[in-house]
Structure 1
Amino acid sequence: MKKYQIIIWLVALVVGVGIGLLRIEAIDSVMNFIATVFTRLFRLLAVPTIILAVINTLASLGVGKEMSRMFRTALTYTLLTTTAASVIGLGLYLLVSPGNLPAEAIDAEVATGIATGETAEFSYADHLLTVIPDNIIKPLLDGNVLALLLICFAVGIALSKMPDTPSRNSLIKGLAGLQDLLFMLIRWLIDILPIGIVAFAAQLTTEMGGDIMLDSLGKYVLVIIGGNCIQVFIILPLFLLFKGINPLTTFRGMSQAILMAFFTKSSAATLPVTMQNAEQKVGVDPKVSRFVLPICTTINMNGCAAFILVTSLFIMQNNGMPISWVTMLMWVFISVLSAFGNAGVPMGCYFLTLSLMSGMGADVSIMGIILPIYTVIDMVETAENVWSDSCVCTITDKVLARKSSQV
């Protein structure tokens, strides 16, 4: 991060909070507009970043041992960190033991329309079908990351297997040039990001001004936020230390991306910044970062797994459903599996949990009570997800570098 940039970002944060506290409707509307513009711009860059990163990396690596080792390492640590986040969430839930919400509060939320209606038809078979693309344009327009990854894998591997001809080399150079152009656009966007931070902070301050049932939801929020903090400041650094990596140095290098994730609430939108920080600030090999990070953005959802587990147990408890040890362990597995493939976009975990509970026939009116505070939860979880992506990427780079030196 450039000198004084953190100070500028912090000043922008303070200014944004001050603007939000004014509660002036016209100014709030302007801040919401600016925040939306920045979020849309980062999403605009996120999709081509994923496409070019995966295709270029696979084209250069092929499907040899290096790529296989890279994928196995990233997948292993993704599973380990996501499972750890879910288990920590379960442990805190049992320790804090949130009580049931007042029945009248739940009944009042039925009118919001957050119930067992349309989402009850959700099934994982349907979700799997959306991953299988039936044309090239639709996944691009929809921002379907998993479908795009399948296409990019096929194109990248095909490029690596093509004969070494001038046309193939020209195509690869052209894709690399497009990637360099994309990173230039990302740098420009980062330069004006303080304006976006002011808007994001003002927007958050305004949204937090509503009446929230803190007394009833306090323990639930404590479990969610506390689990995220333990994962961020204890568990993930321990993974890095175990591999001989300095957590403070890594966190400092990735701080720009983590802050960006916090404000945008989208790990996919933050991906360009995450890749740039990993390569330029932490020193990760571009071959590793441009392969691992797009995958992690889709499957490495530590915060989402913890949210799914805790919220599902909370809803089941309020619905009077029996929760045995077998049920809790089963939901650890379900939460980890569900987090894989969850869209790295704002409120992705919220709607996924809503779908899971609706599919069980539970009364999900409680989700309407959680909704006003989910903005804060989503910000913390997204920052945790990007930090976890960074840790998995850094560990993968270290493992591959160590094995290469032993050859």
Structure 2
Amino acid sequence: MNAFHITNVVAVLLGLAMGLFLKNCMDLTPIEKMSIRIPGDSLIRMLQLVSIPTLTTSIVLGVTALTAEATKKIAWRGAAYILLLTIICVCLGLALVLLIKPGAGQTVGQGELEKVLPPLHAFLDVVRNMFPPNPIQACFQHHKTVLLPFTSNGTRSMVGSYVGGSSTLGLIVFSFVAGRILQDTLERSRILVDIVAVINAANRFVVSVILCYFPFGMLFLTANSILEVHDLETFYRLTKFLGVILLGLVLHSVVILPALYYWIVRRNPWTVVRGVFPALLTAWFVTSSTATLPVTLRCCESRNKIDPRITRFMLPIATTMNKHGTALYEAAAAVFVAQFYNINLNMGQLLTIGVASAVSSLGSSALPAAGATTTIFVMSLVGIPAKNAAILMATEWLLDRCNTVVNVLGDCFGVALIEALSLNELGVEPSNENAEEHMQDTQVPSTIP
């Protein structure tokens, strides 16, 4: 166990002790609780600060480092991996929640279905966000259509507007197109590619500095998580649902992903898990796969020796679209809420929940609590009132972390698998150093061994 792991484990233990002491021995005001969270929030903000530069520059460098034919084949393999695993997770989540029925017997009352936003408009929002009118605006805003009621005559109207939160899909499309243009004009644009490489290297150095602060921020994030568990009674009522989700996530992480990797690559899958453990630990505490991206890149390249041409092309895309844990959670959570409030769902509605969970997970924000937001969207498609989702908040703090860890693990297995399938497109099996030289990038010392 290296120093990075030891300091993080110590920080977690100290955070647990600190949180339990403050919760049981002191009566803190809301302002005091908010003050305790500030060091942890600072860690999340710092990671979010470097997430967009990491995402955009990594895609540009990844595309320019590959030939056009290799880019096309690798992209198709990545898309097939993401789509296949997302469908498997949705089916697994639905099967478990329908088989175990965690919401049965906890009926609060007969529920009613409400008017919903047509699925077409939700899909059109995804399309709109893929092509932002301004790449700068896409860094902090995305388009969203909502159904607003008019109290004067009782009708409803769909209104589209820009809301807070980066349009990650739009940034991916923009960066991919920019990379292809630079790739096609590489002789004339070499200086610009070198500038992007320098920005990427500088960003990596900033990440190494942030990781030095990581244990301190983790301590306060852990303490704050303990303080935010207000209603333990509600938590115990949802234990069965919690068990269903955790069972699904464990089956996917321990059985499906390793089995798929071993079946195709014929290598020990646990070496992948061991290599990306720091990224999984980061994902657990910051609950954001986007904020974890810089750490994930370092782990895949430095510890697992995956070709940077693959990681920098695929990981930013997978971080946004490859959300196995979120897809499983959304499908199971929507059915659980229906069971809890005695809302009967027919086969067509279950199919709608499955499709909506898959689609919304592909285009959802990779930020904390994104699962709760997209679950409300999935519920709305079958008419389950959004207010009923309040019962999920008792477990959101834990399941959001578990989902993020599974999402990041799926990304790491994906790039390892795609690299093994793409050796012909890469020319020969490159070493990490050769690939770095090919990309004209400057390696920065990593704080992760």
The TM-score, its normalising length taken from structure 2, stands at 0.82
- What does residue 77 of structure 1 align with? 81
Alignment of 1:271-310 (within 5 A): 271-310=293-332
- Greater Cα offset, 123-132 or 187-196: 123-132
Displacement of 1:214: 3.7
Kept after mapping to 2: 8 A contact 1:210/1:372: yes
Contact persistence 2:56–2:171 (CA under 8 A): yes
CA distance in 2, matches of 1:118, 1:15: 46
Greater Cα shift, 69-78 or 208-217: 208-217
Write the mapping of 1:325-340 to structure 2, written as runs, cut at 5 A. Answer: 325=347, 327-340=349-362
Amino acid at match of 1:144: S
Distance in 2 between residues matched to 1:336 and 1:126, nearest whole Å? 15
Structure 2 counterpart SS, 1:123: helix
CA deviation vs aligned residue, 1:300-342 (integer Å, no higher than 9, x gap): 0101111111112123334544434454344333322221111
Q: Is 1:55 the equivalent of 2:60?
A: yes
Report the AA paired with residue 45 of structure 1. V
**Counterpart residue number, 1:164:** 187
CA deviation after TM superposition for structure 1 residue 101, in Å: 3.2
User: Counterparts of 1:285 and 1:74 in 2: how far apart (Å)?
Assistant: 15
1:11 counterpart = 2:28: no
Question: Which of 19, 32, 40 pairs up with 1:35?
Answer: 40
Residue 100 of structure 1 and its aligned partner are, at CA, apart by 4.8
Deviates more, 1:2-11 or 1:346-355: 2-11
Structure 1 residues 211-220 or 40-49, which shifts more? 211-220
Cα pair distance change 1:118/1:35, threshold 3 Å: farther
Counterpart of 1:65, as a letter, is E
Q: Is the 8 A contact 2:56 2:175 kept in 1?
A: yes
How many Å separate the matches in 2 of 1:163 and 1:234? 43
* Counterpart among 150, 170, 173 of residue 173 in structure 2: 150
Q: Which string of whole-angstrom CA distances, capped at 9 and with x for unpartnered residues, describes residues 68-89 of structure 1?
A: 1111111111122222222221
1:38-187 alignment runs, 5 A limit: 38-62=43-67, 64-98=68-102, 99-103=104-108, 123-142=122-141, 143-162=166-185, 164-165=187-188, 168-187=189-208
Structure with the largest fraction of strand:
2
Which blocks of at least 5 consecutive residues in structure 1 are unaligned?
108-114
Query: Would the aligned equivalents of 1:319 and 1:363 in 2 still touch at CA under 8 Å?
Result: no
1:266–1:345 contact (8 Å) kept in structure 2? yes
Cα separation, 2, equivalents of 1:41 and 1:248: 30
Is 1:202 aligned with 2:206? Answer: no
In the alignment, the residues of structure 1 paired with residue 70 and residue 126 of structure 2 have an alpha-carbon distance, to the nearest angstrom, of 31
Q: Deviations over 1:9-33 (max 9, x none)?
A: 1111000011111224376433310
1:373 pairs with 2:378: no
Q: Does 1:189 align with 2:238?
A: no
- Distance, in Å, in 2 between the alignment partners of 1:366 and 1:91 is 22
The alignment partner of 1:103 has SS state of coil
**Aligned partners of 1:393, 1:384: CA distance in 2, in Å?**
14
For these two proteins, the number of residue pairs brought into alignment is 395
Within 1, Cα distance between the matches of 2:316 and 2:331? 25
CA distance in 2, matches of 1:361, 1:221: 24
Q: Tell me the SS of whatever aligns to 1:378.
A: helix
Shift of 1:279: 0.3
Cα distance in 2 for residues equivalent to 1:359 and 1:329: 11
Q: Which stretch shows the higher mean deviation, 211-220 or 85-94? A: 211-220
Cα distance change of structure 1 residues 333 and 116 upon mapping to structure 2, 3 Å threshold: closer
**How far apart, CA to CA, are the structure 1 residues paired with 2:424 and 2:60?**
25
Give, as a single letter, the amino acid of the residue that structure 1 aligns with 2:229.
M
Assess if the C-alpha contact under 8 Å between 1:116 and 1:364 holds in 2: no
Over the matched positions of the two proteins, sequence identity in percent amounts to 23
For residues 352 and 236 of structure 2, the distance between their equivalents in structure 1, rounded to whole angstroms, comes to 30
Amino acid at match of 1:153: F
The 1:33–1:198 alpha-carbon spacing in structure 2 relative to 1, beyond 3 Å, is same
Q: CA deviation at 1:177?
A: 0.9
Is the aligned partner of 1:237 residue 2:292? no
Contact 2:235–2:394 (8 Å) recurs in 1: no
Q: Give the distance between the partners of 1:203 and 1:116, measured in 2 at CA.
A: 36
SS at match of 1:192: helix
Give the TM-score taking structure 1 as reference length: 0.90
Q: Alpha-carbon deviations, 1:38-78, whole Å to 9, x = none?
A: 1111001000001100111112225x221111111111111
Q: Which moved more, 1:85-94 or 1:327-336?
A: 327-336
The answer to whether the Cα contact below 8 Å between 2:115 and 2:383 also exists between their aligned partners in 1 is no
Asked if the contact 2:107–2:341 (Cα under 8 Å) also holds between the matched residues in 1, the reply is no
8 A contact 1:89–1:224 mirrored in 2: yes
